[in-house]
Structures are given as structure tokens and as C-alpha cells.
Chains A and B, each alone.
Chain A
Amino acid sequence: MTTPLQLSVVTVCMNRLHHLLRTAERVASWGQGLDLVWEHVVVDWSSEQPIRREQLPPGQHLRLLRVEAEREWSAARAYNFGLAQARGERLMRLDADVWPSDFPGHWIRDLEADQMLVGGTRGGSEGSWLMAQTLFQASGGFHELMRGYGSDDIDLMARLGAMGARICTLPAGAFGVIHHDTALRVGRGTVGGGCGPSLARAWKDALVEANRWVVVAHPWSRLRPRSAYELQANGSWRVLPASVPQPHASLALHLQELRWERFWCDFLALAPATLRRLPRAWFGPYGPAGFPVQRWHRWYWFSARRVLLLLRRLLLLISRGGALP
């Protein structure tokens, strides 16, 4: 009789092999020190350069699965796929830049059915967690209408909390994190020179805001249909396009508008009313390749944006001074 798998660690990676190479070794050495049966499921979410098995630590415990033909990063769909492939009674989600550091095996063995242990390092490990497979299934998994980065883990935890699950935050040292900038989180290796951080922040905030609205307008549950995948002859997986959940037309339009307005207003520091007055063609919508930032947008960011921020500040100061008794 074979011993049932006690733990599945699931990691999803899209174009972040340099992080995965560093963390997979650490996950492997941590797992070997555990006194339980475990596996590490690594999902290659259509990386431009497919991950090869020989690049990852050797051993039976690691399974590499590749999903083909995904055009954009979707943490929710990618993790739902990976966690559905997991065979363990306990599930651990780890991003490609995270590994279990000071995480003793008894936390896994003693985990209760209604308990979720979640990472406590701000800006890194909040999205890493451990819970029973049954609890994850009961929650319905991640919200598959979310796009890109942000809010997926918050939404999952909020739904688990509403179900009565006990959410326990782990000490900061439980998970190790490779620190990096926001550009990588939104799926871009390098963005835009001097205005890069501003661009990455606007990008992230736009996606987070739209994902927040998805939760408001379309709350997720175990009854919602999820994406289905088909095993290909070459061993990779591919989604059945008709199975991918889509927002209804009016919600899709609203989300597109929200991402568009939030990104351009944040990046170029425009007032929303101004953005709506300008020709729409000048500010492209969000697509699989992200927001189409052109050279003149960068000029605006370096020049007019700064002048206008100063001017508005001055006008506020004048109004404030003029109206004071």
C-alpha cells in the first residue's frame, strides 16, 4: 500500500525562471528535511522560454507541468490549475520568489481542517499559505475573472474568513522572499527608464482596482464554473477556450474603463475629467501586452506632468490663503 501524499507545494512561474532556479533548490532542501511524503508541483504558465526539467532540482518529488498558449499572466487561473493537479492532503502555495524558511514540519502535520496559515512578510509572502485541500475546494479556489496581478489572495482569504475558517498569520521568518520591484509583479521585466517605478505602480494599481471591482460585481464561490484544461500529446496542457469564465458584457466594459482611467490618470497625473475630454485614441486600452505607453507619454511624464502638479499645488495654496480670515 502506498503512503498518501501529505503535502503538495505548488508554484506557478511565467518568465521568472531566474527566481525559480534559486527558490526551487531551497524548497527541495527544505522538503527533504520534512518527515512526511510531499511533492513540488511547478507550473510553467506559457513562459516565452519553456522551463526544462533538467533546469530544476533532480528527484521524484518535483513535477513540472506546462500550460501552453496563455497570452497573459493570470495568477488566479494559473494557481487554480496547479492546485487542481496537486495530490496532497495539504496544499501550500508559494510564488516563484518565495520558499519555506523557518517552517517546521509539525505546522503541516498539526494543521486543522478549518485552518489557513498565511505568510506575514509585507510585500512578499502574504500570498503564500498552507491549508487543507478540502478547505481550498470548499472555497471555490481563486476568482478566475481577475486579470494580472493583485487582490487574488485577499479575496480568497476573505471568502475563507466568511466561511468561518481560522486564518493565522505566520511569523515573518516562516517564508523567505527574494525582494524585487513592482515591475516584475505586473509581468514586465523592465519598464521605462526614469519613469519606470511610476509606470509600474500605476499599472499595478489599475489592475488591483479592477480586480477589486470584479469581487464587488461578481463574487466567487464553489458553484462558479472554472477553466478546464486538456492534456496535449506532447505532455503539455492547454485551456479549453470556451470554459474560461468571462464577465458579462457590461461588467467587462466597466472593468476595461476602470483599468484605463486609473492607469493613465495615475501615470500621467491627469485629473479623470481631463482624460475623458482628450481623444481616446491617444491613450490605448489594457491588453495582453499591457498598457501601450508611447514616447510622448514619457515626455509628458518628464515635463508637463511635473509643471502641472506644481501649478495645481500653487493654486490650492492660493485658494487656501485667499479664503482664510
Chain B
Amino acid sequence: MQAPELTLIVDGKGGRHPALAAQRPGAWELLMLESLPGPCCGAQMQTAVEAARAELVMYVPLQAQPQPFACESLPPGCFWQAEAPQRCGAALWVARRSDVLAIGGCHPLLAGPRQACLDLLGRLEADGVCPLPLPPEAVLWRDAPLPTTRWEQALLQARIAADTAGDAAVLVKHPWAVSRRDDPAALQLEPSLERKRRELRRQAFWTQLLDLPVVLLRSLPDGWCGEETERGFAVRPWHRCYWRLFRAPAAALEAALAQLLCLLR
């Protein structure tokens, strides 16, 4: 069977087939990220890159709609375009599969798509491949089905903040490389790094959700704003109560006092 020209790795629920895959179904292979095995986004991306049959691979984030006319006319090379960081911040990228595998592929221990994309593009660049920005018209960034309530939006932002903080710790102390690709031990973090990652995730999640200063979070009793478990962060009704009733007034008072002291200087 002839290999396809392009493998599309699509993030998001099944059934969202990008227009360019639908145009030439035989030539382009489609892999849905959610249906691939892996405990986190980075691991699923790695599985997808390894499973891809085409030499050219395109990763399509949740909110991206690549435009066929722009993507078909690309010269050989590596290209990318990132969405706004205040959303998920992931990047759509196109690269040669052999280039990606030459640097060990995607980092399989990263939780968030933003870090997984940033890391991959950064390592490609450090290896001498020069990722170029895609022209703006090549990708249409759609409004994803965001959560409907403000509370759910706040929870989503807090999870993104936790992913960002935890992944940064992993990338600094445990960068991915081709030498680690076939080493099962490389899929385990050192205990000290795992503790650091969990602590940074905890800090980022609760400071973002409840709008608390880090200094205060560090001084709270154990269990008030606890670590993540297999089922996620334990958000209790009282957290929601604080979020609804006190978060905004506390911030307003904080701002008022800062203004007062600044005017008195």
C-alpha cells in the first residue's frame, strides 16, 4: 500500500475532520490524538508521530483549522503557528517525521499541548532545523467549545496553569533526547523532580483558581489546597464558596490599599 503524503495528528473529539483531510482522503492519513494510548498529551503525540505512515506530519491543535490552499503550497521544511497563550497556547506545526524522530520525538512526560509543541519546536531548532512561521492565512483559529459557566472556565484556566508550571519543571531537569527514546527508565521522573513537579502544579492550580498569593498558599495548613490525586485536584464546595464570595472583594481591597499607599508616598 502506498504511504500517504501527509499524516494529520488531530487534537479533539472524533468527527472533527479538518477540511484538508476530507479533500483528498487517500493521500492524507488522519490520526485522532484522543484515541491513541498514553497517559498525557506528550505521550499521545509521541505515539502518533511513531505511528504516522507519511513522511510529512502535521499536528492540528483543538482550535485550529488549517486552510488547504495555504498548507498545500508549503515548500519542504518545518512550519508552525501558535494560538493565543491565554487559551491553550498550543501550536499547529508541520515537520518531516524523520526530523522529529531524529531528536527523539515528542517529550512523553508533558501534560499540556502548549509545552509539548514548544519543546518539540525548540529542540528541532536547537538541532539545526529551522522552524518557520506559517503565514497568518494558513490557519483559522476557531472559538473552541469553552466551558459555559465562569466557574468551569476558572477551573480550566487553573488546569492549564498547572500543566504549564509542572511541564516547565520537567523540561528543565529532564529534557527529552534521542538517547532517551528507547530507555524505559527515562519515562520515570526522579523522585525529587516528581515532588517538585507536583508542588509546582499545586501552587499554580490554586493560586490561579482562588487568586491567592503564593506566599499565602505556602503557609496554609496541609489539606486546605491539596496536591493532585489520580482524580485531579480535590476542589471542595468551600473552595467554590470562597471563589464566589470572597475572591473578588479581597482583590479589590488589595488594589485599594496599594493605591492608597502609592498616593501617600
Contact = CB atoms under 8 A, between A and B. Distances in A.
B251 A274 contact: yes
A312 B216 contact: yes
A223 B103 CA distance: 14
Interface stretch (A38-46, A80-88, A155-163): A155-163
A269 interface: yes
B120 to A, nearest CB: 10
A213 B168 contact: yes
Contacts of A319: 238-239, 241-242, 245-246
B175 A278 contact: no
A309 B179 contact: no
Contacts of A318: 246
A277 B255 CA distance: 8
Q: DSSP class of A's interface residues: helix, strand, loop or mixed?
A: helix
B128 interface: yes
B176 interface: yes
A221 interface: yes
A154 interface: yes
Interface in A193-239: 212-213, 215-221, 223-224
Interface stretch (B3-11, B37-45, B56-64, B205-213): B205-213
B162 to A, nearest CB: 14
Interface string B229-265: 0000000111101100110001101110111011011
A67 to B, nearest CB: 26
Interface in A281-318: 282, 294-296, 299-300, 303-304, 307-309, 311-313, 315-316, 318
A272 B265 contact: no
B245 A162 contact: no
Contacts of B163: none
A249 interface: no
Given A271-B213, A303-B261, 18 more contacts: A212-B169, A215-B171, A216-B122, A219-B123, A221-B126, A223-B126, A271-B251, A273-B211, A274-B254, A278-B255, A296-B262, A296-B264, A299-B265, A312-B250, A315-B246, A319-B238, A319-B239, A320-B224
B258 A158 contact: no
Contacts of A322: 238, 241
B176 to A, nearest CB: 7
Contact of B176 (A162, A266, A316): A162
A264 B204 CA distance: 16
B238 to A, nearest CB: 3
A154 B173 CA distance: 6
Interface of A: 151, 154-155, 158-159, 161-164, 212-213, 215-221, 223-224, 254, 265-266, 268-274, 277-278, 282, 294-296, 299-300, 303-304, 307-309, 311-313, 315-316, 318-320, 322-324
Contacts of A308: 250, 253-254, 257
A265 B215 CA distance: 9
User: Across chains A and B, which 7 residue pairs bring their CB atoms closest together, nearest first?
Assistant: A323-B238, A162-B177, A296-B265, A319-B242, A221-B126, A269-B213, A304-B257
B119 A216 contact: yes
B261 A217 contact: no
A322 B240 CA distance: 12
A313 B259 CA distance: 22
A254 B168 CA distance: 14
B241 A219 contact: no
Contact of A215 (B172, B211, B239): B172
8 contacts: A154-B172, A266-B214, A268-B258, A272-B211, A299-B265, A308-B257, A319-B238, A319-B242
A260 B123 CA distance: 27
A278 B256 CA distance: 9
Nearest to B128: A223
B130 to A, nearest CB: 11
B258 A219 contact: no
